[in-house]
Structure 1
Amino acid sequence: MADWTDTLPDAARAYLEGRRLDEVECVIPDLPGIARGKAVPASKFARQETFHLPDSIFYQTITGNWGEAAGDEGFIEKDMILRPDMSTATAAPWTGDWTLQVIHDAYDRDGKAVEFSPRNVLKRVVQLYRDAGWEPVVAPEMEFFIVARNLDPAHTIKPMMGRSGRPAAARQAYSMTAVDEFGPVIDDIYDFAEAQGFEIDGITQEGGAGQLEINLLHGDPVKLADEVFYFKRLIREAALRHDCYATFMAKPIADEPGSAMHIHHSVLDAKTGQNIFATADGAETDAFMHFIAGLQTHMPSALAVIAPYVNSYRRYVKDHAAPINLAWGRDNRTTGIRVPLSSPAARRVENRLAGMDCNPYLGIAASLACGYLGLQEARKPQPEFKGDAYDGDGDIPRTMGDALRLFDEADALHTVLGADFARVYSIVKAAEYDEFLQVISPWEREHLLLNV
């Protein structure tokens, strides 16, 4: 046992110091970003190099039904070979015993990476950048709500009860008093993150009732996606300890802002380490403009990936802190593509369209793919938008059906993300959308039952 635990990341070794490891959770993110896998005794994990799960875990809709995406062999649920990435080993500090989590990568029987595994999709896109001599860098921002327990889906979601004994209030953006209302939950989030070796850049109160934002430091896209994947789980566990829920729905509460996963992008020259968005004298480069143009051109086709559910499109509402178009601007939070204030060396592009409900691997991969296509195509962006972008018309799909149609037609995007991924994703999401269309909503019963 000592042999393999000696090679664990520092935070995992510190967590286990003086303790006996009981269990290892072997996990892999599926299409929605849910952790699938097996929990095994530590002694067994020490002896196993791989384990198996059926490929059908990637054909499930969010409701647990199936898309007919198995391919020519039919739905035989053949096993994938899952190999641990030990650099991802981290604590599961909310468990009753001493447990580690390890993310695994999926391969087929011939040792080829399974193309529709989300972590493999992101690795594929990152490799395309590296093949071109670039190193992509991202920094995700995670918005989410802490809400009261909701045991009946027919009931609306309510803000949680704060430390003061009053429900969390809206329109208190950046209020430290509002953050203090969630003090015990936030304390556990910090404690869990520290045990897992994650560094939080900051926690702020957002504009919604019980809405918080966590910023992560910039870095390697796969590593940051792993952290978001782990963070979603640890935040949920921290909330459950205090009789409330953490939700990453894009729009959980009507008349409140939605939750985004803003993605900051920069690209380094792999040889020099210099930001390709800035010249030696600090000016903006052609590559900087090409990256923006790639987002403007290809993001409508990628929206089905970064806004993956029918609820996602409820977030894109004018004047509700979410973009409705693909305009770009400097230091302008009303545009879908924002250039934040920074030094030339830290110049970056912020994609504000992605929802917090997206799979972090796929959301980051899709955003990077759009920028990559812009760099390869050397496109020019539309002129910079000045003023309030909410005054303009929206130019992104407004429904999941429209977004899926654009995704299906996006051959260039499929080439970057992988053709087999695009095939599976489209089939699963279409099946999910068909499931939703069979549900009759309270609005329909209220307004149509006796009036039409």
Structure 2
Amino acid sequence: MSGEWTEKLPEAARDYVSGRRLDEVECIVPDIAGVARGKAMPAFKFEHQKSFFLPTSIFLQTITGEWADAPKGEDEYKEPDMTLVPDFTTATAAPWTADITLQIIHDALDQKGDPVPTAPRNVLKHVLGLYAAEGWRPVVAPEMEFFFVAPNLDPNMPVQPPMGRSGRRAAAKQAYSMSAVDEYGKVIDDIYDFAEAMGLEIDGILQEGGAGQVEINLAHGNPVDLADHIFYFKRMIREAALRHQCFATFMAKPIEGEPGSAMHIHHSVVDIATGRNIFSDEQGRETPAFLHFIAGMQTHLPAAVALLAPYVNSYRRYVPDFAAPINLEWGRDNRTTGLRVPISGPEARRVENRLAGMDCNPYLGLAASLACGYLGLKEGKAPRPECTVNAYMGADELPLNLSDAIDLLEEDAALVEVLGPDFVALYASVKRHEYKEFQQVISPWEREHLLLNV
């Protein structure tokens, strides 16, 4: 590698390749599902290439590999190329590969050099730009929940918990148990080792309530950086699990009767000029901005659910009184509310959105959640009174299927404007295509109960 190229790499990436021959560079961009798309090339080839091209149609690909219709109509859409330019701050190791490989997330630009509005990473950057224009800088801290499961080679068979080192399947209802985490300790060890090689910071790992369900907490920081980290973590955790004869899944509800996997998002907002959290005043009290942020989430989250719960399976998380709030109530230190205010000092006062699923694209999940808070700050409304009881017992307030969620997204003109009309039109097209595909599948439940009985 040339010295100039090496100097652009973060310290962890430089350390990883130091004294070794770099074989390959993976040039990647997150698609609508948060899947890494792009191309791999020999390191010597990458060194002399400032950018490369991919068709914008990768953002029209559904999770099944089909292609949704371009929102502007087939006659107008010619599948143009976009230019992908490396963001060297994202360079990180791919330590599970057989050779020495780096991954680099690329910025997606159109042929005029402007950000492609349908690229998920650009959607998040656009929302952050709206905050910056007001003198604000959002800070987020995501929590990642996921399952280790036994290898599932037949989609017709139910998913099972993994075998632990004791020779028994991972048990449910063992939240916060250290011995439960030890059952798949070798996978956790690889996750720690991979994270260190990649320069990713883990704030903590704990056992959740489901069989084989784990939570990883990430330190608070810049939303784009944290979305990049989740994007990398998902791939890395899957690779670590495969080394130990199990799967890692970020599916919202992989096992019947078990809790779902959420991506809780903690939000605060800093005044750029003063560096102070705008949710607290000089005496440490809650500010009007804090309440406006909550009100914005209560107003616009029903429309944002299409991005926080992006698949038909996502809505299986939203089961009443089953560890996932399906309400827009807010409360201090109340985990039954969709919007929780954790115990903290004034400088760390924040709002936790507990509605997002771990299956969401991290860029879009953070963008949608922050967009709701931004609109609240701009609209200046007051939230409902605080909920001080068990909010699980309240009425459902969210769309309970993907089709209804897409309708609500398209109808919320303010949210559409913040996220970008071009992006929302494309996203709705992709999701309607996926929903139509799902509707054509006959489930085992239908065959069991309807085939001979109706």
Contact 1:324 1:395 in 2 (8 A): yes
Whole-angstrom distance in 1 between the partners of 2:2 and 2:41: 17
Matching of residue 441 in structure 1 with residue 443 in structure 2: yes
Percent identical across equivalent pairs?
Answer: 68
In structure 2, what is the equivalent of residue 388 of structure 1? 390
Whole-angstrom distance in 1 between the partners of 2:278 and 2:87: 30
Cα deviation for residue 69 of structure 1 reads 1.5
What TM-score comes out, normalization by structure 1 length? 0.99
Instruction: Give 2:358's aligned amino acid.
Output: M
Contact 1:56 1:77 in 2 (8 A): yes
In structure 2, what is the equivalent of residue 142 of structure 1? 144
The SS at the match of 1:137 is: strand
Whole-angstrom distance in 2 between the partners of 1:132 and 1:449: 59
In structure 1, what is the equivalent of residue 54 of structure 2? 53
After the TM superposition, which residues 168-317 of structure 1 pair with which residues of structure 2 at under 5 Å, given as runs?
Answer: 168-317=170-319
Matching of residue 106 in structure 1 with residue 77 in structure 2: no
Whole-angstrom distance in 2 between the partners of 1:413 and 1:102: 31
Cα deviation for residue 56 of structure 1 reads 0.8
Cα deviation for residue 137 of structure 1 reads 0.3
Whole-angstrom distance in 2 between the partners of 1:187 and 1:319: 34
Instruction: Give 1:186's aligned amino acid.
Output: I
Contact 1:56 1:70 in 2 (8 A): no
Contact 1:59 1:70 in 2 (8 A): no
Matching of residue 424 in structure 1 with residue 426 in structure 2: yes
Cα deviation for residue 74 of structure 1 reads 3.6
Whole-angstrom distance in 1 between the partners of 2:71 and 2:307: 20
Instruction: Give 1:60's aligned amino acid.
Output: Q
Cα deviation for residue 75 of structure 1 reads 4.2
Matching of residue 34 in structure 1 with residue 35 in structure 2: yes
The SS at the match of 1:373 is: helix
Out of 310, 329, 341, the position equivalent to 1:327 is 329
Could you say if the C-alpha distance between residues 59 and 302 of structure 1 is closer, same or farther in structure 2, counting changes exceeding 3 Å?
Answer: same
Instruction: Give 1:140's aligned amino acid.
Output: P
Cα deviation for residue 225 of structure 1 reads 0.2
Cα deviation for residue 2 of structure 1 reads 3.0
Could you say if the C-alpha distance between residues 386 and 70 of structure 1 is closer, same or farther in structure 2, counting changes exceeding 3 Å?
Answer: closer
After the TM superposition, which residues 123-142 of structure 1 pair with which residues of structure 2 at under 5 Å, given as runs?
Answer: 123-142=125-144
Contact 2:22 2:101 in 1 (8 A): yes
Unmatched tracts of structure 2, length 5 or more: none
In structure 2, what is the equivalent of residue 71 of structure 1? 72
Whole-angstrom distance in 2 between the partners of 1:136 and 1:6: 29
Cα deviation for residue 39 of structure 1 reads 0.2
Whole-angstrom distance in 2 between the partners of 1:451 and 1:334: 39
Contact 1:140 1:263 in 2 (8 A): yes
Instruction: Give 1:411's aligned amino acid.
Output: A
Whole-angstrom distance in 2 between the partners of 1:369 and 1:78: 29
Cα deviation for residue 182 of structure 1 reads 1.0
Contact 1:81 1:108 in 2 (8 A): yes
The SS at the match of 1:404 is: helix
Whole-angstrom distance in 2 between the partners of 1:432 and 1:161: 33
In structure 1, what is the equivalent of residue 351 of structure 2? 349
What TM-score comes out, normalization by structure 2 length? 0.99
Contact 1:139 1:263 in 2 (8 A): yes
In structure 2, what is the equivalent of residue 164 of structure 1? 166
Cα deviation for residue 280 of structure 1 reads 0.6
Q: Deviations over 1:319-368 (max 9, x none)?
A: 21101111101001111000000001000000000000000000000000
Whole-angstrom distance in 2 between the partners of 1:352 and 1:89: 30
Out of 61, 80, 83, the position equivalent to 2:82 is 80
Contact 1:249 1:357 in 2 (8 A): yes
Whole-angstrom distance in 1 between the partners of 2:413 and 2:448: 42
Total equivalences in the alignment = 452
In structure 1, what is the equivalent of residue 2 of structure 2? 2
Cα deviation for residue 76 of structure 1 reads 2.6
Cα deviation for residue 70 of structure 1 reads 5.6
Q: Which region of structure 1 is more displaced relative to structure 2, 240-249 or 2-11?
A: 2-11
Whole-angstrom distance in 2 between the partners of 1:245 and 1:378: 46
Cα deviation for residue 449 of structure 1 reads 1.1
Whole-angstrom distance in 2 between the partners of 1:125 and 1:109: 22
Whole-angstrom distance in 2 between the partners of 1:199 and 1:308: 27
Whole-angstrom distance in 2 between the partners of 1:363 and 1:21: 34
Instruction: Give 2:47's aligned amino acid.
Output: A
The SS at the match of 1:200 is: coil
In structure 2, what is the equivalent of residue 116 of structure 1? 118
Q: Which region of structure 1 is more displaced relative to structure 2, 395-404 or 363-372?
A: 395-404
The SS at the match of 1:12 is: helix
Q: Deviations over 1:21-47 (max 9, x none)?
A: 000000000000000000000001110
Matching of residue 337 in structure 1 with residue 339 in structure 2: yes
Whole-angstrom distance in 2 between the partners of 1:432 and 1:78: 23
Whole-angstrom distance in 2 between the partners of 1:358 and 1:74: 30
The SS at the match of 2:375 is: helix
Whole-angstrom distance in 1 between the partners of 2:136 and 2:443: 48
Whole-angstrom distance in 2 between the partners of 1:74 and 1:431: 19
The SS at the match of 1:13 is: helix
Out of 350, 365, 376, the position equivalent to 1:363 is 365
The SS at the match of 2:377 is: helix
Q: Which region of structure 1 is more displaced relative to structure 2, 283-292 or 104-113?
A: 104-113
Contact 2:71 2:425 in 1 (8 A): no
Contact 2:8 2:89 in 1 (8 A): no
Q: Deviations over 1:192-237 (max 9, x none)?
A: 0000001100000000000000000000000000000000000000
Cα deviation for residue 188 of structure 1 reads 0.3
The SS at the match of 2:203 is: strand
Matching of residue 13 in structure 1 with residue 32 in structure 2: no
Instruction: Give 1:395's aligned amino acid.
Output: E
Unmatched tracts of structure 1, length 5 or more: none
Whole-angstrom distance in 2 between the partners of 1:37 and 1:2: 23
